[in-house]
């Protein structure tokens, strides 16, 4: 998969791209990440990429000329791709969106800055806008890195450990079950006996129910997006959790 990142601060990506799973994915050729400095496409002697907004107001706005020129140049270097602007105006990013983006062969990530980009750039060149959440960052670089990270780990062969990505938190809309490792007893606290039983069917049932319990306790609104199988519903009824799940769905519109 190809990621093209358009930014005025390419140096911000140096460390994240050289560590962990992302580094290995690049070395294995599973992803390619190209950084493009928008300033290289500014035509004035100061390489300005921003200017004051018409009508007055605080802050600066990213100019259309260098940004559109950068996008035009980058598009010519590869096949068609989806152009995404990282912006507070975008839809909130989640695991479902990450899964959808993983289906593209190429993503062009435009890192917004200042008070945003000239509206004409949005109209002519942007396919969609994405926001990390309801808060303001200094720019879209961190958001772009989040997309690279979250999408890359969903690509075939990147994690190299079976169903790891499929079983992640949010993969089904629920939080993940609690995890335990050695030692078996820590400060008087023992791990659940079922995890030592070797009975994988029982372990899966236990983990499913614990996942539901964690979601009910911490993020009950997530359950409105979950579709339970008939077998799972029987487990919920047997454990006494179905009443709590139904109440959560009632409250949160499921």
Active site residues: 88, 115, 153, 168
Helices 242-252 and 200-218 meet at what angle, rounded to 10? 40
Rounded Cα distance between 152 and 25, Å, is: 8
Rounded Cα distance between 14 and 44, Å, is: 27
Backbone angles phi, psi at 225, to 5 degrees: -100, 0
Q: Is 3 helix (H, G, I), strand (E, B) or coil?
A: strand
Integer CA distances (angstroms), 3 to 31, 82, 159, 245, in order: 7, 10, 18, 40
Please enumerate, as own/partner, the contacts of 210-219 that have beta carbons within 8 Å and a separation of 24 or more: 210/177, 210/178, 211/174, 211/175, 211/176, 211/177, 212/174, 212/236, 212/241, 212/245, 213/241, 214/174, 214/175, 214/176, 214/177, 214/178, 215/174, 215/175, 216/241, 216/244, 216/245, 216/248, 218/175, 219/175
Contact 2, 107 (CB under 8 A): yes
Residue found under tokens 């990013």: 93
Rounded Cα distance between 135 and 132, Å, is: 8
């Amino acid at each position: 998969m190809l990621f093209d990142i358009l930014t005025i601060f390419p140096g911000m990506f140096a460390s994240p791209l050289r560590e962990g799973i992302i580094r290995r994915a690049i070395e294995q050729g599973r992803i390619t990440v190209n950084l493009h400095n928008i300033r290289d496409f500014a035509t004035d002697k100061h390489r300005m990429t921003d200017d004051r907004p018409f009508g007055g107001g605080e802050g600066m706005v990213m100019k259309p000329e260098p940004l559109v020129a950068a996008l035009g140049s980058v598009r010519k270097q590869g096949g068609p791709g989806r152009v995404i602007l990282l912006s507070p105006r975008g839809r909130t990013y989640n695991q479902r969106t990450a899964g959808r983006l993983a289906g593209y062969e190429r993503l062009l990530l435009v890192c917004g800055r200042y008070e945003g980009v000239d509206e004409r750039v949005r109209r002519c060149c942007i396919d969609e806008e994405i926001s990390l959440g309801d808060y303001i960052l200094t720019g879209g670089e961190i958001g772009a890195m989040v997309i690279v990270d979250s999408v890359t780990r969903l690509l075939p062969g990147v994690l190299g450990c079976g169903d790891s990505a499929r079983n992640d938190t949010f993969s089904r809309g629920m939080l993940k079950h609690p995890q335990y490792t050695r030692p078996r007893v820590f400060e008087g606290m023992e791990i659940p006996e079922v995890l030592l039983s070797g009975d994988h069917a029982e372990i899966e049932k236990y983990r499913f129910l614990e996942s539901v319990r964690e979601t009910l306790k911490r993020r009950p609104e997530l359950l409105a997006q979950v579709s339970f199988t008939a077998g799972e519903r029987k487990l919920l009824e047997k454990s006494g959790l179905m009443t709590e799940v139904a109440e959560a769905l009632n409250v949160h519109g499921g």
